[in-house]
Amino acid sequence: MCGIIGYTGNENSVPILVEGLRALEYRGYDSAGISVQEDKIITVKTKGRLDDLAKKLEEHTDLSSGCGIGHTRWATHGEPSDRNSHPHRGKHLSMVHNGIIENYAEIADMLKKIGYVLESETDTEIAAKLIDSFYDECHDPLKAIFSATEIIRGSYAFAIIFEDIPHKIYAIRKDNPLIVASSENGGFIASDIPAILKYTRTYFRIDENVVAELDGANIDFYSSSRNKIAQPIETVDWDIEQAQKGGFPHFMVKEINDEPSAVRKTVSAYQQDDLPHFGIEKIDSDFICKFKSINIIACGTAMHAGLVGKYVIEKFARVPVNVDVASEFRYRDPILSSDDLVILVSQSGETADTLAALRLSKEAGAYTLAIVNVVGSSIAREADSVIYTLAGPEISVASTKAYSVQCAVVYMFALRLALARNKISVEQARKLCVSLQTSVPDAITNVIKFGSKIRSVSKKYINAEHIFFIGRGVDSYLGTEGSLKLKEISYIHCEAYAAGELKHGTISLISEGTPVVAITTQSNVCEKTISGIREVKARGAVVLSICTRSIAEEYNIPCDDMIVIPDTEIDDIDNVLDPFACATALQLLAYHVSELKGLDVDKPRNLAKSVTVE
């Protein structure tokens, strides 16, 4: 979502702030701005991209200050415009904010009564002016911030500078990530690691309801009783190169290319003697066998990895799995007890709905297990147990490698559970575990190698208005993910359907030339999907078949184009590992349609990398 950067030190903060914001661009935004302290606070902000801000800053060549805050805004309250851009001002301060203030209307009324005039439509300005009103009375920044956050309801990460407190930045957060760090250059505050990685690899993740005070490189933390407290120091476990394009034209394709090694690394980390082993004391056989059902809760692509989890857990461990989108789960009064395992899947570990679902599950007494990519993120910290996916940083808004490793972890978890429940032999589990480390990454590599073939097929789709994805069983889940990937970065309307559902309504949408992507990786249901393909072909659909080599050879699939993926067979278990390579093919299809259309692949319109608001 929005991005926050702050710097205080001996250097000119202006280029540091702009550069920091560039490192956060991937999060998605529609306006940007900075405030710096000279003898007074100077704010420059604009609707648009960082280049627009840089242009505006050219009018302020004399702007040089050792302390400032910056922000990229993804509009929630009020349209993207200059006046709604952050930072927002009070008489004494300037502030940037990520999150949403729920009781902003109530606070606005309060502020108007005491004479404040609001200049924007944002909830942030209201929070800024509320802190300002307290500061006006007490001239104590800590007291003012804590008094305001007692009133504010919602989620926030605030970074604040006060006009009469030079060199200092204050920060506080709730349900939104915010880190602080120091180096010989000074002190930094940021909503995400890439913004500070150039300066340091160590950082503090501020606990909720704790104020961080940065005075150059010196950082103090205060509890709400205004006592100094310590915060644990953390170290970034990936390199800056991993957060760069590494010669690829876009992060998305770079991240697809990372998939073989990410899957290999993740699976290797969670095996011992080629059997699943998570190294989590709590997840022993007796414990995981006690759950009568499993809920997998997540959003977007992570939820689609959850669907693959349902397929593989039910297949191997024979435990019923319910998969739900977090935004629905949290409001449908779910029936949960200590007999339930709730698995939360999230790349960022900060998705607001998934975090809320986690808290609700804990309150209901369920055991919560998080599958998360970002170390130390809120979901990782709050869940009863966490399994980290080892994808490294994912920058592109369209999630690719995170999905592959989430799938890898749910496979390993399914095998662990199946072994504990005696539903699979040790020998079979070992074979699968070895294949997940070897044949699966190899199959993904193979798909990546014939990327140019996928690119040439993609050309057919660049002018499409609608594309349908069909498949059965796990193939329908892959279609759902393929459809999301394509729609989010190509702006083409895409829908995925279980192929068997076609004749219950959807087939009325098929007419001459309608593109349909048919996925057939599973031999047990492929004849059924092929019937569906015949039905849509008979109504004029143009069909792209994505199938395994063995299915292509055995069946005569009626289609106009074909992307053949290698079989990831293991002796006696058919097709179970093929979803990985198929997912990569679907990601490449989406990628090429988007880049061929000349769109902003990594930063699709209206979208943000991490959705920290409801």
Residues annotated as catalytic are: 2, 609
- Which tokens in the block code for residue 408? 């890898």
H or E element at residue 203: strand 202-205
User: Interface with ligand M6R includes 610 (CB under 6 A)?
Assistant: yes
User: Interface with ligand M6R includes 35 (CB under 6 A)?
Assistant: no
Instruction: Answer whether 28's CB lies under 8 Å from 612's CB.
Output: no
Near ligand M6R by CB under 6 A, which window of 28-36, 241-249, 293-301, 571-579?
293-301
Q: Which is nearer to ligand M6R, 400 or 520 (CB)?
A: 400
Q: Where are the beta strands (DSSP E) in 416-540?
A: 466-471, 493-498, 515-520
Per CB under 6 A, the list member of 398, 405, 418, 588 interacting with ligand M6R is 398
What's the min distance (Å) between Cβ of 399 and ligand M6R?
4
Near ligand M6R by CB under 6 A, which window of 49-57, 69-77, 162-170, 394-402?
394-402
Q: Where are the beta strands (DSSP E) in 359-436?
A: 367-372, 385-388
Near ligand M6R by CB under 6 A, which window of 165-173, 391-399, 452-460, 521-529?
391-399
Cα–Cα distances in angstroms (integers) from residue 336 to residues 50, 327, 386, 484, in the given order: 46, 16, 20, 29
CA 52, 58, 63, 66 torsion-angle sign = positive
What's the min distance (Å) between Cβ of 429 and ligand M6R?
27
In degrees and rounded to multiples of 5, residue 130 shows phi and psi of -65, -45
User: Interface with ligand M6R includes 155 (CB under 6 A)?
Assistant: no
- Which tokens in the block code for residue 97? 């904010």
What's the min distance (Å) between Cβ of 406 and ligand M6R?
8
User: Interface with ligand M6R includes 586 (CB under 6 A)?
Assistant: no
In degrees and rounded to multiples of 5, residue 123 shows phi and psi of -75, -25
User: Interface with ligand M6R includes 256 (CB under 6 A)?
Assistant: no
Give buried/exposed letters for 340-365 (b at 16+ CB in 10 A, else e).
Answer: bbbbbbbbbbbbbbbbbbbebbbeee
Residues 476 to 505: which contact ligand M6R by CB under 6 A?
484, 488
- x/- binding map, residues 436-475, to ligand M6R, per CB under 6 A? ----------------------------------------
Near ligand M6R by CB under 6 A, which window of 137-145, 259-267, 285-293, 396-404?
396-404
| CA separation for the pair 160, 141 (Å, rounded) | 9
In degrees and rounded to multiples of 5, residue 539 shows phi and psi of -105, 15
- Which tokens in the block code for residue 513? 């030339």
User: Interface with ligand M6R includes 346 (CB under 6 A)?
Assistant: yes
Near ligand M6R by CB under 6 A, which window of 75-83, 138-146, 298-306, 490-498?
298-306
First to last CA, the chain: 11
Instruction: Answer whether 20's CB lies under 8 Å from 70's CB.
Output: yes
What's the min distance (Å) between Cβ of 326 and ligand M6R?
8
User: Interface with ligand M6R includes 351 (CB under 6 A)?
Assistant: yes
- Which tokens in the block code for residue 182? 């120091």
Per CB under 6 A, the list member of 85, 301, 480, 568 interacting with ligand M6R is 301
User: Interface with ligand M6R includes 300 (CB under 6 A)?
Assistant: yes
Query: What residues are paired with 371 via a beta bridge?
Result: 345, 387
What's the min distance (Å) between Cβ of 543 and ligand M6R?
25
User: Interface with ligand M6R includes 302 (CB under 6 A)?
Assistant: yes
User: What is the distance of C-alpha 565 from the center of its chain?
Assistant: 27
Q: Which residue is nearest to ligand M6R (CB)?
A: 300
Residue numbers at the binding site for ligand M6R (CB under 6 A): 299-302, 346-348, 351, 354, 397-399, 484, 488, 607, 610-611
